[in-house]
Structure 1
Amino acid sequence: MNERAEDPQDALDALHAQCRSLILATLDENGCPHASPAPFVRDAGGDYHVFVSGLAAHTRHLASGRPVSVLLVRDEADSPQIFARARLSQVCEVTETEVHAPAGSALLAAFAERFGNVIEVLRSLPDFRLFRLHPLDGGRLVTGFGRAYDLVGGEIRPVGPPSAGDAAQD
């Protein structure tokens, strides 16, 4: 457990740079949770964009407009301690981007740059849809044991252990 304490901003930047997919946590129409991976691109404003098949359950859930949770997590092979994997979770609002609109074309160009020629194949399939996931809050970043941070208004704030007063309020 002698994992080196990493600067939280460096850890956050590394997650964004190294992760090529995120884990989506969506809800179906009955409120049942569904977790699934989706490749993503991230824009300059910090929004995630996913290009997903209409055959996937998560696409129906995204199209409903209900908020989703996303998780970026360091690869197990690159994590010295599996219980303390670096990760970022955020709740996001969902909007669909028209694939044939200028914004959609620009995003699909970014997908092609990041993922290669497969995007041209996927783009030709009629069921693929493009969604923007806009973080509603900054999220929670964990970089190791005892190293959790809330992202609030562009700041990275350490999260401490609950105080005795916090337990009484639960």
Structure 2
Amino acid sequence: MNQFTRRKAAMTIEIRTATLCDADDIYSVMMDAYSEYRSVPGSSSALNETADSIRDSIKLGKERAVVGLVDGIAIACVRYRLEDGVYFYRLAVRREWQGRGVAKRLLLHLEALAKAEMQPRIWCKVRYSVPRNVHLYRSLGYVKLGEEWIHKDGGVTLEVWTMSKDLFA
């Protein structure tokens, strides 16, 4: 571990609700985090989004977001909406920050927000083909509720799980 890596590990991560002003940062974090899937058949539709589309969704109240920052620089985000509880999506952590518990901290923050709004559960959809994501959610107490097969361009079929956690159980 070099000096720069140690310094990053010791920094405090601020987690807060995103505003319209954060749309460019949310987009930037997503593009960095999802870039590893750019050349994978059936790549994530997150790569087709724009900062403007994110800004518009927040402005119109279609979604909300949470950002994680270090020294004022966005390193992580998660977008969500109230839909039979809190449905979250586009959880993203910059590649250089992955594996440091940032995603877990964002999700715990989001769970606290959901509880404060008296939402009964928090849930997401996750590609079964990305085991580290399935493992993350399981480690936080999420359980598989169901599965579906998504058909993407190019004849790609993906198994997608719905994973959920009851917040007042």
TM-score normalised by the chain length of structure 1: 0.26
Larger Rg: 1
TM-score normalised by the chain length of structure 2: 0.26
